[in-house]
Amino acid sequence: MASVRISIARLKPGMFVVDAGISWLEDPHLYQNEGLIISEAEIKSIKRQGFAEVCYDPTRSQIQALPEDKAAPRTLLSDEIYVARGAFSSAYGHVRSFMQSAACGNVEVAAVEPCLNSIVKSVARNRNALLLLANLKSLDDYMYRHSVNVAIFAVAFGQYLGLEDEELRRIGIAALFHDYGKALLPPNILNAPRKLDASEMQIMRTHVECGYEKLRSSGKFSHEVLSAILQHHERHDGSGYPYQLAGDEIGLYGRIISICDVYDALASKRVYKDAIHPKHALGTLFKMSENAWAPGFAEHFIKMVGIFPIGTAVLLSNGQKGIVCHSEPLSPSLPSVLLVRDCEHGVRPLRLFDLSRQKTVNVNRSLSKTETAYWDIPTLLDSANEEEMA
């Protein structure tokens, strides 16, 4: 009997793992050390190493995998975060490499594709893990991190809209390369520690066509990917650039990357501006939505991200504090929150509280950076009770 591929969340003691013969490069998150799994501790160790899936042989196993709940995330957030971190840093390394060699080197898209596969699969298992990393806005170089964040938001939004995996991979590639042309701009404009004046802004805007031309001439990108890159600053009402396209002239991939680009730029700190809180960035998107995107498009994005995006520290109406871990599109104002105890002895996780399952407590407000200065959100999520972090 052929082996069966399952998510790591369904692996149990008594299952016999088999080597499926898939290379590490092709699928770095597939665990393939052949043998019988004997304990939960062994499974925990496999998860900690960043593996997300296994192939097992039912005929050599003492138990069979339970059926998958298609409606639920396929892995726990606390498990998927390890895989997501690997996928994030791999994508970051690729973006840094191809941007740094843009002026003189060949464009190496084939090397990026496995990492896009990892992002698409991670989003399919539990999109909250990569969304959390994109929302945390670590202090890496903005230009590289922004491209990775846009790819994560674009793949997650495409999945939310029901696109197939192959389309998600194309959108992800376009998003990773969407600002490629910026690497070809004069450094004094690209790195100016201030707002650009009008003539500098004109030069900055050339990044769209510069990047498009360079990528097109490499012959390694599909027409759809190139169109998305060319259209990522166009706007629904024709006010964008470089061609003032309007309405349906802008393709779906271009529209997806456009809204993800604006959201991440608003919510990120730059040398010339502070980060806007994710909740307020969503408010700005909503205000822009009348002109910038087709009717209803921004609302879909906001439902996907949640009114309180994953990773947001919040104060509840009962006085408790916590971190948003999950948000259902049908009840975006009532997320699942990891409650934390924040006292003079430190900050530690307590338990998961699903606000959508009760009627008395809601989110009062988001907590500021000052109020959560001592919170190490990834560590708090790591040390939370795994069974509760669905």
- Give the footprint of Fe ion on this chain (CB under 5 A): 179
Task: For the CB of residue 211, give the shortest distance to Fe ion in the complex, in Å.
Answer: 8
CB of 232 to Fe ion, least distance (A): 6
Shortest distance in whole angstroms from residue 10 CB to Fe ion: 41
- Residue 306: in which H helix or E strand, if any? none
- The percent helix, strand, coil of the chain (3-state, each to 5) is 45, 10, 40
In the complex, the smallest distance separating the C-beta of residue 294 from Fe ion, rounded to whole angstroms, is: 20
For Fe ion, the closer of residues 179 and 342 by Cβ is 179
Q: What is the DSSP letter of 272?
A: T
Rounded least distance, CB 115 to Fe ion, Å? 21
Shorter beta-carbon distance to Fe ion: residue 2 or 201: 201
Q: How far is the CB of 222 from Fe ion (least distance, A)?
A: 20
Closest CB to Fe ion among residues 79, 179: 179
Complex with Fe ion: residue 273 or 369, whichever CB lies closer = 273
Minimum Å gap between C-beta 178 and Fe ion is 6
CA proximity to 119, closest of 133, 138, 98: 133
Closest CA to 224 of 294, 295, 168, 143: 168
- CB closer to Fe ion out of 80 and 179: 179
86 or 211: CB nearest Fe ion? 211
Question: Which residue pairs, CB below 8 angstroms and at least 24 apart, start in 274-278?
Answer: 275/137, 277/366, 278/135, 278/305, 278/308, 278/309, 278/312, 278/366
**Which residue sits closest to Fe ion, CB atoms considered?**
179
The smaller minimum CB distance to Fe ion, of residues 53 and 179, is found at: 179
Q: For the residues of 188-236, what is the DSSP string, one character each?
A: HHHT-SS---HHHHHHHHTHHHHHHHHHHHHT-S-HHHHHHHHTTT--T
d(CA 153, CA 123): 10
335-339: long-range pairs with CB below 8 Å, 24+: 335/306, 335/307, 335/308, 335/363, 336/390, 337/363, 338/380, 338/381, 338/384, 338/389
